[in-house]
Amino acid sequence: MSSSTAITDRIALLQSQIKELKVQKQDATPLIDEMKSLKLQVAEQKKADAAAGLAAPSAGGEGGFQLKVPKGTKDHDPAATLMRKKIFNTLEGIFVKYGGATIDTPVFELREILAGKYGEDSKLIYDLQDQGGELCSLRYDLTVPFARYLAMNGVVSMKRFHIGKVYRRDQPVMSKGRMREFYQCDFDIAGTYDSMVPDAEVLSLVVEALTALDVGEFTVKLNHRKILDGIFEHAGVPADKTRAISSAVDKLDKVSWEEVKREMVSEKGLSEVVADKIGQYVGWKGPGREVLAKLEADDGLMSVKSAKAGLEDMKLLFDYLEVYGALDKMSFDMSLARGLDYYTGIIYEAITEASAPPSKSPVPSVPPPTTATSSSKSKSSSTSPPAGSGAVPADGEPDETSVGVGSIAAGGRYDNLVGMFSASAGRKADPVPCVGISFGVERIYSIMEMKRRAREAKEGTAGKKSGKETEVYVLALGGGLVKERMGFTKMLRDNGIKAEFMYKTKPKPPAQWKAADDDQIPFVAILAPAELEKGTVRIKKQVGKEAVEGGAVADERGEEVNVSEVVAYLRRKMAE
Amino acid sequence: MSSSTAITDRIALLQSQIKELKVQKQDATPLIDEMKSLKLQVAEQKKADAAAGLAAPSAGGEGGFQLKVPKGTKDHDPAATLMRKKIFNTLEGIFVKYGGATIDTPVFELREILAGKYGEDSKLIYDLQDQGGELCSLRYDLTVPFARYLAMNGVVSMKRFHIGKVYRRDQPVMSKGRMREFYQCDFDIAGTYDSMVPDAEVLSLVVEALTALDVGEFTVKLNHRKILDGIFEHAGVPADKTRAISSAVDKLDKVSWEEVKREMVSEKGLSEVVADKIGQYVGWKGPGREVLAKLEADDGLMSVKSAKAGLEDMKLLFDYLEVYGALDKMSFDMSLARGLDYYTGIIYEAITEASAPPSKSPVPSVPPPTTATSSSKSKSSSTSPPAGSGAVPADGEPDETSVGVGSIAAGGRYDNLVGMFSASAGRKADPVPCVGISFGVERIYSIMEMKRRAREAKEGTAGKKSGKETEVYVLALGGGLVKERMGFTKMLRDNGIKAEFMYKTKPKPPAQWKAADDDQIPFVAILAPAELEKGTVRIKKQVGKEAVEGGAVADERGEEVNVSEVVAYLRRKMAE
């Protein structure tokens, strides 16, 4: 950066000169223009440096190595971290409103705890090296650790939320927010309750949360494992192939039916006839009660016990969701299967228009109906949710990190997971049925970020990048006054006011003004020997960079205030 | 737990009976006694179950395994998580007040990033298994990732804080809060500033934070690497042995001088004479300016350049700390060395009386003086801080997880770390001097937890264990009214009120009352068919368990309120 220090100094000088001109109500345009172009230079230089850092040759320097973060991970700068915190706070507020309590579990678990919980995705689990002692793996999600917690502590009912990072050795696609390290925000209800009541609570929470997060139009795709299994049984899928076929169906929102069918037939050894029978159903989706009626009219399917049981659940669920005013956000969707092994009841995924990648690919087409009633194409197009197509990614790769392609939240009911743990630990325990939701923060974040940029572009404003909340910058004009600035800053902080000063004994005024402007600190406290003599300082309201770059500026010189009255004065001004 | 369900049912019944008796102003003592003993039973059963879970035989169950968390880690239950969050919020509030901004870095780094940064403790680093691709390790602290962040992004000045988990494969001692996974809360100032100004800021922050956290009496042990190196040079330690000898001295707060000397002589090959010369100094500690004067009076030592430079720094620092009103919390301590390699200037550790383990061991004794002026024993005893002895642990094991034995915060100045990264990545960059502090949350937590327990024991109150913040429990008397409870609860939540109800269609009144009592939910909304007809519900103020267990109880039956006025009514009542 040393190359650019000259420039930044020049910028600082220009800024103070511009200030001066403004005070004298003179035209500062030429200086402003020069400064702006210089700033642009600096910004580009910074970018270049960072890039250089990422691409630094391994040969460079003694014991040289690449200065980077591990593949699929990234640093979050102050602005990004602050935005994430806002998401967390919004979600947490709602989790608590629904009676949730939070727990904190280790970031790694015994390897055997995670084993056999994630179906085909188990290969994505990060293992810790065996350095002697137990074999551990980084957690893949927050659900399995929660189930382990319940079983281990003999807890039979709990409403818990957990916000934490999870880890998946997937092929990262940063642009799509698919990372190897990413946050999940989970809310789960454990306990033996009456059918669909907790399920309705969770779905109501999802709708409230996504509305509060302002992610734009969204839809919750909804299905039931029992109905899906019923369809497979009805179509003639051998019981031992059910899960395999299920995860094939799960890919329908990423690849075409043709591909899914090929996988079923050639890879999973399903007969063509059976596959086609499945194909008749998987395209069905739309408003809950519409699809419900269609399924109930299908006598063949209704003759399958599990399918009928699943439909009973859904009917009850829709009644409850109506009470919650959440029914119209749902899309009952036969193509939703969810990859994970542990789901036993309803499953769901929330998608949004905004979560569609820039370049859209066509909606996966479902083959033309062989019978009139199963006209999936027409049905799906007539009843498909607005966001449905928006959720299809540019490429066909699986995107697990945002909890399903384009989905920003996903979950379902898992009634046996806790019992599995108790059993395999050789303990007697009541089964602990669970239902829960996991919000994919990375995807939500990128949507909010997109919206923010759009807003700023429209309003021509630049968001505060520093991630600081400092309220007062304490600077000295004439003399260094370092101890005075220290003491004054401490006095402000002791009164709960966020204050800073420059850590130099004799800082130049321009440098101090620049520091205050760069972080857009709303107030500046000006310490000067003469005024301190009188026991006063000057408080100046800043208007951020605009103050320097041509915006309207109030009280250029600031107001003179008795030191003893500064706190009260500032509190008043801040409240304005 | 099924064995105990009968008991819990009985408890629920008793509770409602007790309520009835109270309403009729009759004596409920016998029932109360029975209930209390039953509750005790349940509690013990729970404990036993949990223990059984931890100790479950690997042979138990099919594919059986131990149901536990990895060695050195633990789950934090809702109450513990909530208490931790309080600590984080207190610290964050102060970090922000000092102008800090936060970043978020990956939990694992490229292995080469961490290599050679932690001296003898590098062996404690957790490695991820090589599953193809980059070699990574879990972060050992938050400081090295911060330095990596600055170098990688070419940032030359930043005030950043970071709250996150770090990992050390140490021998865990849970009772002492020494874990393999634990939180650190770091605040660091990076940038080229004037001597000791940022250093004073950090130490002022430490004093403010520990005061706010209410950890009891505390002292900040303070030293300077240059003075320490000066002492070694003066004593005749070969330059190449400096770091090794330094880490031997660092053990002085855990083991006796005799042991440290033995390590220096027999292990690190130092001559007896040199070791004794060091022994003359390491006992010196006390109020900053006292020790300062002693050192300045030592002509031999003053003839060593680095020692003199270090003293100049300290003199300036003490002046600044006086302005901050933080000087009296400091203890200038020659025995403080800090293990880590990267420190280059002042180093410090905060210790508290409360952070002493229950069983105290004697203060490590320093050998009787060989010369009058270096009478370390007498000096140290006369000037040793009150908390000094309190910081000595029961056993002699090193305790890194709480950032030094008994210490609840530690840090120092590291001026070369960022430059090291830039250099080894083959990049030109200004050096970026840094100074920072790391708070050891586990230790702070256990101190606050101890204090909380003591307070509750004194007041005979039991803290809220549920970790919930629910304000209203919505229950039904007569009929299940599940949709009514849903709708009413949604109405409350839509108005920002934290509300819950039982997820059963026809829950028994006792079970509902118990649920509200168990979580000490302050208000209960009672829905009854007759009243709903009239468009009213009853709101009852709960007094927590005490309401059932013999405390004074207000408005037993609650107040009848129009549904349309419930929100306003509750807001008013909650404000009371």
pLDDT value at B516 more than 60: yes
The SS3 assignment for A147 reads: helix
Lowest mean pLDDT segment, chosen from A559-568, B181-190, B235-244: B235-244
- Phi/psi for B164 (5° steps) reads -165, 170
SS (H, E, C) A234-280: HHCCCHHHHHHHHHHHHHHHCCCHHHHHHHHHHHCCCCHHHHHHHHH
Other CB atoms within a 10 A radius of the CB of residue A358 amount to 8
Cβ distance B126 to A131 less than 8 Å, yes or no, reads yes
**Can you give the pLDDT at residue B334?**
94
**Can you give the pLDDT at residue A368?**
34
Distance to chain A for B6, nearest Cα, Å: 13
Cβ–Cβ under 8 Å, residues B241 and B278: no
Distance (Å, whole) CA B95 – CA B202:
10
Distance to chain A for B109, nearest Cα, Å: 6
Distance (Å, whole) CA A284 – CA A133:
51
pLDDT value at B3 more than 60: no
pLDDT value at B555 more than 60: no
Q: Which of A106, A113, A131 sits opposite B181 (nearest CB)?
A: A106
SS (H, E, C) A49-81: HHHHHHCCCCCCCCCCCCCCCCCCCCCECHHHH
Q: Average pLDDT in the B148-167 region?
A: 95
Residues of B in contact with A63 (CB under 8 A): 424
**Can you give the pLDDT at residue B354?**
61
Cβ distance A490 to B53 less than 8 Å, yes or no, reads no
pLDDT value at B32 more than 70: yes
Confidence of residue B252 (pLDDT cuts 50, 70, 90): confident
- For an interface test with A, give the residue of B3, B87, B92, B152 to mutate (most A CBs within 10 A): B152
Distance to chain B for A102, nearest Cα, Å: 5
Cβ–Cβ under 8 Å, residues B408 and B350: yes
Cβ distance A99 to B500 less than 8 Å, yes or no, reads yes
List C-alpha distances in Å: B566 to A131, A179, B327, B470, B573. 60, 46, 55, 16, 10
- For an interface test with B, give the residue of A77, A96, A184 to mutate (most B CBs within 10 A): A77
What lies within 8 Å, CB to CB, of A572 at 6+ separation is none
Confidence of residue B9 (pLDDT cuts 50, 70, 90): low
**Can you give the pLDDT at residue A5?**
52
Please tell me which residue, A98 or B431, carries the higher pLDDT value. A98
Q: Which of A63, A127, A148 sits opposite B67 (nearest CB)?
A: A148
Residues of A in contact with B98 (CB under 8 A): 493, 500
Q: Average pLDDT in the A431-450 region?
A: 91
Burial A439-453 (b: 16+ CB within 10 A, else e): bbbbbbbbbbeeeee
Q: Which of A100, A468, A486 sits opposite B99 (nearest CB)?
A: A468
**Can you give the pLDDT at residue A429?**
63
Q: Which of A64, A68, A134 sits opposite B424 (nearest CB)?
A: A64
Distance (Å, whole) CA B170 – CA B400:
8
**Nearest-by-CA chain B residue for A197:** B503
pLDDT value at A357 more than 90: no
Please tell me which residue, B330 or A363, carries the higher pLDDT value. B330
- What is the token pair recorded at B539? 């709101």
pLDDT tens sequence across B413-468? 999 999 988 887 777 667 899 999 999 998 898 888 888 888 888 877 666 677 88
Which of A15-29, A289-303, B542-556 has the largest mean confidence? A289-303
**Order of strands, edge to edge, in the sheet holding B434-440?**
B101-102, B158-167, B181-190, B434-440, B407-414, B346-352, B218-224, B330-333, B285-286
Which of A546-550, A563-567, B63-67, B388-392 has the largest mean confidence? A563-567
Question: Between A and B, how many CB-CB pairs are < 8 A?
Answer: 332
Other CB atoms within a 10 A radius of the CB of residue A22 amount to 18
List the one residue out of B283, B278, B284, B281 whose CA is nearest residue B263.
B278
Distance to chain B for A564, nearest Cα, Å: 18
pLDDT tens sequence across A495-531? 999 999 999 999 999 999 999 998 889 999 999 999 9
pLDDT value at A139 more than 60: yes
**Can you give the pLDDT at residue B327?**
97
Lowest mean pLDDT segment, chosen from A13-17, A289-293, A305-309: A13-17
**Can you give the pLDDT at residue A354?**
61
The SS3 assignment for A181 reads: strand
Residues of A in contact with B126 (CB under 8 A): 128-129, 131
pLDDT value at B156 more than 70: yes
Distance to chain A for B382, nearest Cα, Å: 32
pLDDT value at A339 more than 80: no
Which of B35-44, B368-377, B481-490 has the largest mean confidence? B481-490
Q: Average pLDDT in the B469-494 region?
A: 95
Residues of A in contact with B159 (CB under 8 A): 468, 500
Lowest mean pLDDT segment, chosen from A299-308, A386-395, A544-553: A386-395
ipTM value: 0.79
CA neighbours within 13 Å on the CB side: how many for B184?
Answer: 33
Distance to chain B for A69, nearest Cα, Å: 6
Please tell me which residue, B429 or A54, carries the higher pLDDT value. B429
**Can you give the pLDDT at residue B561?**
96
Residues of A in contact with B104 (CB under 8 A): 75-76, 80-81, 84
Residues of B in contact with A324 (CB under 8 A): 486, 490
- What is the token pair recorded at A51? 């890039």
Cβ distance A197 to B482 less than 8 Å, yes or no, reads yes
Which of A38-42, A554-558, B55-59, B259-263 has the largest mean confidence? B259-263
**Nearest-by-CA chain B residue for A428:** B1
**Can you give the pLDDT at residue B66?**
80
Determine what percent of chain A is predicted with pLDDT higher than 70: 78
Provide the mean pLDDT of chain A: 82
Q: What global pTM score does this model have?
A: 0.80
**Nearest-by-CA chain A residue for B49:** A154
pLDDT tens sequence across A62-89? 456 788 999 999 999 999 999 999 999 9
Residues of B in contact with A76 (CB under 8 A): 103-105
pLDDT value at B380 more than 70: no
Cβ distance A108 to B1 less than 8 Å, yes or no, reads no
Residues of B in contact with A84 (CB under 8 A): 104
Cβ distance A98 to B493 less than 8 Å, yes or no, reads yes
Q: Which of B96, B468, B499 sits opposite A498 (nearest CB)?
A: B96
**Can you give the pLDDT at residue B214?**
80
Lowest mean pLDDT segment, chosen from A556-570, B243-257, B356-370: B356-370
pLDDT value at A270 more than 80: yes
**Can you give the pLDDT at residue A443?**
87
List the one residue out of B396, B412, B438 whose CA is nearest residue B176.
B396
Q: Which of A46, A75, A467 sits opposite B101 (nearest CB)?
A: A467
**Order of strands, edge to edge, in the sheet holding A472-476?**
A499-501, A472-476, A523-527, A536-541, A559-562
E-assigned strand segments in B380-481: 407-414, 434-440, 472-476
Distance to chain B for A132, nearest Cα, Å: 10
Beta strand B330-333 with B218-224 is parallel
**DSSP line for B163-203:** EEEEE-----BGGGTB-SEEEEEEEEEES---TTHHHHHHH
pLDDT tens sequence across B214-233? 888 999 999 999 999 999 99
pLDDT value at B162 more than 70: yes
Distance (Å, whole) CA A474 – CA A486:
9
Cβ distance B110 to A66 less than 8 Å, yes or no, reads yes
Beta strand A181-190 with A434-440 is antiparallel
Residues of A in contact with B80 (CB under 8 A): 104
**Can you give the pLDDT at residue A140?**
95
Distance to chain A for B448, nearest Cα, Å: 18
**Can you give the pLDDT at residue A25?**
64
pLDDT value at A462 more than 80: no
Residues of B in contact with A512 (CB under 8 A): none
For B53: left if phi > 0, alpha if psi spans -120 to 50, otherwise beta; the answer is: alpha
**Nearest-by-CA chain A residue for B181:** A106
